[in-house]
Structure 1
Amino acid sequence: MAKIKGNRNIFITTAIILFFIILSFVYYSPQLEGKQLMASDLLNYKGMSKEISDYRADTGEEALWTNSMFGGMPAYLISVGYGGELVAKIQHWFLSAFPRPAGYLALGFICFFVMCLVLGVDRFIALAGSMMWGFGTYFFVLIESGHYTKVHTLMYMPLIVGGVLSAYRNKPLWGALLTALGLSWMLSANHPQMTYYAGLMVLIIGITYLVYAFREKTLPAFFKSTALLVVALLLAVGTNFGRLYSVYEYGKYSTRGKSELKVDEQNQTKGLDKNYILEYSYDLGEAMTAFIPRFKGGGMSEPLGEKSEVYSFFEKNQGRAAAKQVTESLPLYWGSQPISAAPFYFGAVVFFLFVFGLFAVKGKDKWWIVAVVAVSFLLSLGKNFATLSNFMIDYFPGYNKFRDVKNIIFIQHFAMVVMGMLAVRELVLGRIEKKELLKSLKYSWFIVGGVALLFAVLPGIAGDFRGPSDIRLAQAGWPEQLLNALRDDRRSVLRMDAFRSLVFVSLSAGVVWLFIQEKLKAAYAVALWVLLILVDLWPVNKKYMNNESFVAKSKVEKPFTPSKADQAILKDPDPDYRVLNLTVSPFQDASTSYFHKSIGGYHGAKMERYQELFDHQLYPEIQRLIGGFRNPTTLDSVLTSLDVLNMLNTRYFIYDPNSAPLPNPNALGNAWFVNDFRVVANANEEIEALSDFDAASEAIVDERYADQLKEVSLGTGRNSQIKLVEYQPNYLKYQAKVAGGTALAVFSEIHYPKGWNAYIDGEKVDYLRANYVLRAMAIPEGSHEVEFKFHPSSYFVGNKISLASSLLLLIAAAGLIFVEWKRKPKHEEEAAQ
């Protein structure tokens, strides 16, 4: 009998996993036609990774550095392969078989389902829980924007939580193994912020179980499980050590690190500035979009339709064509976010089951869930709950490294789904008296349904429906009558969605009532919940992530077509020079990097000093350059004044994609000798000195490098020459001829001491930083071969540690499975007797 039951369970599990995979590809059906997703962040990724990918294709090696953005930066957070990450290859195989984004959705379903099985949840209840998790609108909004690494990282969170809970319950070894595997895969997905937030949830779980262990006097068992989980943590970190150490090392030099400038000390932290961290903060109204999707109007370009007040206004005054055009791109959104592509809707069914779980679920699991929901909600408020946010930024390790704090709501969503699933399990198991269940049902429906009904009947209590965009519309000439029509439409969609949520809450409550009254079997009740989840979440998700987001594969693989300006620049045979493209937002766009080495680019963790160079020097120079284009008679004098752009070897300016680029005759080239140098005391003096210096003849040097300048002879730059003779992203070779003593060479390459090594005639030598961001070197008299090689030990040593840790984890997994396999026949024998 046990064997028959086991075979039946295997069949059901396999069927459910196949259902997840099929459902994922049904949602993303254009993938079956060979189409691929076209998203803004994916386009930027194509641009920023082009040089790295080309080098990998040509050599089979990792460049680890790219010169295609921001004058040059490490490639760790762009595109780097780590051969030692053997464990990561397992999930790569899955995503090769089931490509993204459908593969991510299937992965999310499966990981949540596995967590449920590990925790002993019935397979069909686990199916419902997996649907509530995987169909959260949050994931589809991220996918549509191209935030693949965020989604990929989050999909492994159920494995970690399942492992931790299992370790603290009754299977410490298996729990630790699942935790190690889940965390190893999560880390390899390479989104530290999402991993950090998941870690906060695990910390809350651990504290909750510690409190209960103290109360129940089971501390020895708790600490044993904790010790095994710490080992799991170390193994998971070890399997990704090369990746983590490289990113950690670079983080100190990126915008996530502490600045040396003393500007705004109140706003400044050891990581990002506080204002930047808290720029995207939720408020109570934004938080309500998890329950009523268009509580704040939906997305920023939410279509209104022909029944809207604005449509009627335009139809009467300008005709149907004008009305249709305007209502397709109006700012229906009236919330406080600078950008909002769509609401992060959890689902009305999820909210009802969560509140029902508050009454039905007992014990430690209830309280860690409540704590996670409360903490994540409060932290998502950011600047709107500044006391807590500032405390976390100032005192909680690592919290100041990440921005967009509202992203933490994903652990709120996860915890609410788990609570809803546990509530359904308690209901089905029949461990609660009927009277108590009916009481819990009544309270849940009154609370959740009452909130929905309140906003459906009285939408005005949500606010005045005035948004930041209204000011711009008024400035553009919109009359107050038209703005009032827009506000009426915002009120209307809130009321509509509130009624919608009320319907799903009532239907969910109805299923619970029918089951309690024994008018509906458990299997049918769960099936109805699955159906309600699909009907609730599918259409909302499709509104923001649908078939129109997909295009032909060829458009994704080659997303950019070279303009006439690009084509002209690409004829230049020099392997290393830079381009400033003024036809795009240079520091928010990576398309230029697809063809050229760009002054700008797009990345959330660019080098701190380069960002400061832009803020203090590059931006004013770019504005002067734009002014020069507007007044061509002064353009030549403007070009000679652009010392910072010139020292970065900016050889071409693109001002019109359909015209030839403007060559910059003042670009200083790959390297040059200077006649003089100025030593300054600190970063503030260094960056200010760039406002008044001649980059061709003078170098600005921080006093910490003064010892390397002792042998330099002033004036030697006049009779010395240096030329780049070989270029690769991670290797540069120059030929230098120095006359009259030791000369100081400045290189138009970004200074980064963690990996770039310098050599003169094959011997390793010191180099220094000059002009705030560039490399410089004292070169002795005579003819010399000068080389720069990028060989970061964090990557190469770290990769070996990753390989060793991966082998250890895989051996541990194999050993545990083998021991369990050997014990299984014995258990079956005992059961038969």
Structure 2
Amino acid sequence: MAKIKGNRNILAVTGIILFFIITAFLYFSPQLEGKKLDAGDTAHYLGMAKEVNDFRAETGEEALWTNSMFGGMPAYLISVKHGGELLARVQTFYNTLLPRPAGYLVLYCLFFFVLTLLLGVNPFAGAAGALMYGFATFFFVLMGAGHMTKVHTLTYMALVVAGVLMAYRNQPVAGSLVTAIGLSWMLSANHPQMTYYAGIMVVLIGISYLVAAVREKTLPAFLKASGLLLIALVLAVGTNFGRLYTTYEYGKDSIRGASELTTDEDNQTAGLDKNYILDYSYDWGEAMTAFIPRFKGGGMSEPLGEKSEVYRFFEKNQGKAAAKQVTAALPMYWGSQPISSAPFYYGAVLCFLFVLGLFVVKGTDKWWIAAVVVVSFLLSLGKNAAWLSNFMIDYFPGYNKFRDVKNIIVIQHFSMALLGVLAIREIYLQRLDKAILLKKLKHAWFILGGLALLFVVFPGLAGDFTGPTDARLAQAGWPEQLLGALRDDRRMVLRTDAFKALIFISLAAGLIWLYVKQKLKASYALALWVALIFADMWPVNKKYLNDDNFTSKSKAEAPYKASAADQEILKDTDPDYRVLNLTVSLFQDASTSYFHKSLGGYHGAKMERYQELFDHQLFPEVRTLIGGFQKPEAIDSVMRSLSVVNMLNTKYIIYDPNRAPLQNHHALGHAWFVDEVKLVEDANEEIAALAGFDAAEEALVDQRFSEMLKDMQFGGAGESQIELLEYRPNYLKYKARAKNTSLAVFSEIYYPKGWKAYIDGQETDHLRANYVLRALPVPAGEHEIEFRFEPASYFTGNKISLASSLLLILALALVGYSTYKKKAVHEKEVSGKA
């Protein structure tokens, strides 16, 4: 009988997994036609990584550095493969088997389903809960935007939590191994911020179980489990050590590290600036979008139908055609964030089950879940709960490295979904008296249903429906009457969604009531439950990620088309020069990097000094250049004055994509000798001295490098020469002829944690000049100069990753073998007794 029951469970689980796969591909049906997601950040990635990916395809090697954006930067957070990460290869195989985004949706549901099974939830109830979790709008918004590393990282959160709970619930060895595997995959997915938030949740779980252990006098078991989990953490970190070490090392020099400039000290941290960290914060009302999706209007561009007030306004004044055009994309969002593409909706059903869970679930899990919900909510408020945010930024290690703090709601959503499933478990197991259960059900319905009804009747409680975009609309010519119609529509969508929430809550409560009253079988109740989840979530998600978000494979893999200006520049056979594209946002563009080595780029962790160079000198020079176009006859003299633009070897300027670019004849080239060195005291003095200096004649050098200049002989730079012989992203070779022992300045970004300089094959120290560039003392005579990017952090880290991966695989094999042997012995004993 036990064997038959086991076989049935295997069939049930297999069927459920197949249902997840079918559901995912039904939602993302264009994938079945060979189409791919046309997402903005995916296109940005292809632009950022073009040089690195091309180099890998041509040579089979990792470049580790790219010159395609921001003058040059490490490629660790762009596209680098770490050969020592053996477990990560499972992800590569899975992505081939079930390509994204459908594959990611399957993982969300699958690992949450595994978690529910470990917590003793009926498989079919767990499957319903997994769908409820996996269909959160937040995940679909991320996928639609192309935030795939964030999406990928979050798929493993349930697996990590499953392992931790197993360890604390009498399976310390198995739980620790599950944690190690889940965390290893999570880290290799490469979004440290999401992993960090999951870590906050795990800490709260640990605290809750510590309190329980003290109360129940089981502290030794808790300490044993915690010790094994600590080993699991070390192993998971070890399997990704190359990735983590290089990221950590580079982080100190990126905008997420401390600045050497001492301006605006109140806003400075050892990571990002506080204003930047807290720019995207929830307000108290915006958290309601988890329950009522358009509580704050929805996204920045929401479609409305013919019943909207804005439609009626335009129909009356300009006709139906104009009304349809305008209402196809209205600026409905009126929250306090700078922008919001869509609400992060958890589902009315999920929120109702969470509230019910607070009444019917007991034990340690309930308390850590409640703690996660409260802590994540307060932290998501960011600048609107500055007392807590500033404390975290100032004193919590690593918290100052991340922005967009509202993203911490990912652990809030996860915890609420889990408590909801645990509530279903309690109802299914019938451990509560029916009368008490129905009373608690009524309380949950009154609380959440009453809240929904309140906003149906009194939508003005949410605010005045005036958003930050309204002032811009008024400046654009929208009359007050039209703005009033827009506010009425915002009020209308709030009432509509609140009423829908009331309906879904009532239906969910009704299903539970029917089941408890034995008027509905469990199987029918669960089937209706799944239908209710789809009816709640599917239409909302389809608004923000649908078939229109897909495009042909060829277009998705080559998202940028070369303009006439690009094509003209690409005729240049010089392997190393930069392009300034004035037709795009300099620091929010990856299209230029797709074809050229760009002065700008697109990345959230650009080098700190380059960002500062842009803010203080480069941006003013770009404005001067744009102003110069007003007097075309003077443009050559304007370009001559752009010292920073020229020292970065900016050879071409795109001012019109349909016309030939402007060639800058004042670009200083790959390298040059200078006649003078000016020593500066610190970063403040150095960046200020860049204004108006002559980069061709002098170099600005921090006094900390003064010892390297003591044998310099200045003068005669015009009689010295240096030329580039060979270029690769991670290797440059020059031929130099110096009249005296002179200082050569290279139009390459200085980064000493990997770049090594060689003169005639002998390694020699190089220094930083002009705030961001490399410089090298060159002895008199003819020499071969090489720069090689050979970061020890990558090569050493990969060895540690390989060793840790083998150790974890060995541990898995030993535990698996031990489990198999115990099972075989047990079956033999049972057979003998029979």
Partner of 2:716: 716
Partner of 2:9: 9
2-structure distance, mates of 1:541, 1:154 = 18
Deviation at 1:558, TM superposition (A): 1.3
Deviation at 1:826, TM superposition (A): 2.3
1:676 corresponds to 2:676: yes
Partner of 1:793: 792
Q: Which moved more, 1:108-117 or 1:308-317?
A: 108-117
Deviation at 1:6, TM superposition (A): 1.1
Counterpart code for 2:579: V
Counterpart code for 1:642: L
Deviation at 1:720, TM superposition (A): 0.8
CA contact (8 A) 1:652 1:661 kept: yes
Counterpart code for 1:152: H
Deviation at 1:551, TM superposition (A): 0.5
Partner of 1:504: 504
1-structure distance, mates of 2:52, 2:194 = 25
Partner of 1:447: 447
CA contact (8 A) 1:566 1:595 kept: yes
Secondary structure of 2:131 counterpart = helix
2-structure distance, mates of 1:24, 1:730 = 41
- Give CA deviations for 1:281-337 in whole Å, capped at 9, x if unaligned: 001221111100001111111011111111111011111111111111221111111
- Give CA deviations for 1:708-744 in whole Å, capped at 9, x if unaligned: 00011111312111001000000000000011x2100
Partner of 1:266: 266
The residue correspondences of 1:379-394 to structure 2 (distance < 5 A) are 379-394=379-394
- Give CA deviations for 1:619-655 in whole Å, capped at 9, x if unaligned: 0000000001122133122111100000000000000
Partner of 1:184: 184
2-structure distance, mates of 1:293, 1:204 = 28
1:620 corresponds to 2:620: yes
1-structure distance, mates of 2:509, 2:779 = 83
The residue correspondences of 1:464-483 to structure 2 (distance < 5 A) are 464-483=464-483
Counterpart code for 2:816: I
1-structure distance, mates of 2:121, 2:762 = 64
Deviation at 1:439, TM superposition (A): 1.5
Deviation at 1:436, TM superposition (A): 1.5
1:774 corresponds to 2:776: no
- Give CA deviations for 1:528-558 in whole Å, capped at 9, x if unaligned: 2221111100110001000000011110111
2-structure distance, mates of 1:631, 1:497 = 56
CA contact (8 A) 1:751 1:775 kept: yes
CA contact (8 A) 2:116 2:421 kept: no
CA contact (8 A) 1:743 1:781 kept: yes
Deviation at 1:517, TM superposition (A): 1.2
Q: CA RMSD in A?
A: 0.8
TM-score by length of 1: 0.99
- Give CA deviations for 1:505-530 in whole Å, capped at 9, x if unaligned: 00011111111212122222222222
Counterpart code for 1:187: L
The residue correspondences of 1:389-468 to structure 2 (distance < 5 A) are 389-468=389-468
Counterpart code for 1:165: L
Counterpart code for 1:547: D
Deviation at 1:830, TM superposition (A): 4.1
Deviation at 1:90, TM superposition (A): 1.0
- Give CA deviations for 1:142-186 in whole Å, capped at 9, x if unaligned: 000000000100000000000000000111011001000000000
Unmatched 5+ residue regions in structure 2? none
Partner of 2:602: 602
Counterpart code for 1:60: G
The residue correspondences of 1:92-171 to structure 2 (distance < 5 A) are 92-171=92-171
CA contact (8 A) 2:650 2:664 kept: yes
Partner of 2:516: 516
1-structure distance, mates of 2:617, 2:537 = 49
- Paired positions, count: 832
CA contact (8 A) 1:272 1:400 kept: yes
1-structure distance, mates of 2:68, 2:315 = 49
The residue correspondences of 1:216-255 to structure 2 (distance < 5 A) are 216-255=216-255
Secondary structure of 1:758 counterpart = strand
1:88 corresponds to 2:79: no
Deviation at 1:469, TM superposition (A): 1.1
Partner of 1:26: 26
2-structure distance, mates of 1:830, 1:298 = 62
Counterpart code for 1:802: S
CA contact (8 A) 1:298 1:343 kept: yes
Deviation at 1:18, TM superposition (A): 0.9
2-structure distance, mates of 1:558, 1:213 = 56
1-structure distance, mates of 2:108, 2:293 = 22
- Give CA deviations for 1:8-41 in whole Å, capped at 9, x if unaligned: 1111111111111111111000000000011111
Counterpart code for 1:537: M
Deviation at 1:431, TM superposition (A): 0.7
CA contact (8 A) 2:156 2:186 kept: yes
Secondary structure of 1:62 counterpart = coil
Counterpart code for 1:755: G
Partner of 1:378: 378
Partner of 2:707: 707
Counterpart code for 1:489: D
- Give CA deviations for 1:439-491 in whole Å, capped at 9, x if unaligned: 21111001000000000111011111111111111112211111111111000
1-structure distance, mates of 2:802, 2:96 = 22
Partner of 2:75: 75
2-structure distance, mates of 1:258, 1:683 = 12
Deviation at 1:656, TM superposition (A): 0.3
Partner of 1:726: 726
Counterpart code for 1:123: P
CA contact (8 A) 1:292 1:497 kept: yes
The residue correspondences of 1:620-659 to structure 2 (distance < 5 A) are 620-659=620-659
Partner of 2:207: 207
Q: Which moved more, 1:626-635 or 1:647-656?
A: 626-635
Partner of 2:807: 808
Counterpart code for 2:96: S
2-structure distance, mates of 1:368, 1:330 = 41
Deviation at 1:831, TM superposition (A): 4.4
2-structure distance, mates of 1:519, 1:312 = 47
Counterpart code for 1:27: Y
Partner of 1:488: 488
CA contact (8 A) 2:393 2:400 kept: yes
Partner of 1:826: 825
TM-score by length of 2: 0.99
1-structure distance, mates of 2:42, 2:157 = 23
Deviation at 1:56, TM superposition (A): 0.3
1-structure distance, mates of 2:774, 2:476 = 48
2-structure distance, mates of 1:475, 1:91 = 50
Q: Which moved more, 1:355-364 or 1:300-309?
A: 300-309
Secondary structure of 1:478 counterpart = coil
Counterpart code for 2:788: K
Deviation at 1:63, TM superposition (A): 0.3
Partner of 1:783: 782
Partner of 1:279: 279
Deviation at 1:572, TM superposition (A): 0.6
Secondary structure of 1:69 counterpart = coil
Deviation at 1:339, TM superposition (A): 1.3
Counterpart code for 1:682: D
CA contact (8 A) 1:727 1:733 kept: yes
Counterpart code for 2:431: R
1-structure distance, mates of 2:827, 2:528 = 36
Partner of 1:325: 325
Partner of 1:744: 743
CA contact (8 A) 2:641 2:692 kept: no
2-structure distance, mates of 1:478, 1:405 = 33
Counterpart code for 1:762: G
CA contact (8 A) 1:716 1:742 kept: no
CA contact (8 A) 2:743 2:776 kept: yes
Secondary structure of 2:597 counterpart = coil
Deviation at 1:604, TM superposition (A): 0.2
The residue correspondences of 1:662-673 to structure 2 (distance < 5 A) are 662-673=662-673
Partner of 2:350: 350
- Give CA deviations for 1:219-268 in whole Å, capped at 9, x if unaligned: 10000000000010011001000000000000000000000001111110
1-structure distance, mates of 2:505, 2:827 = 45
Counterpart code for 1:812: A
Secondary structure of 2:808 counterpart = helix
CA contact (8 A) 2:112 2:130 kept: yes
Partner of 2:45: 45
Secondary structure of 1:658 counterpart = coil
Deviation at 1:692, TM superposition (A): 2.9
Secondary structure of 2:267 counterpart = coil
Secondary structure of 2:660 counterpart = coil
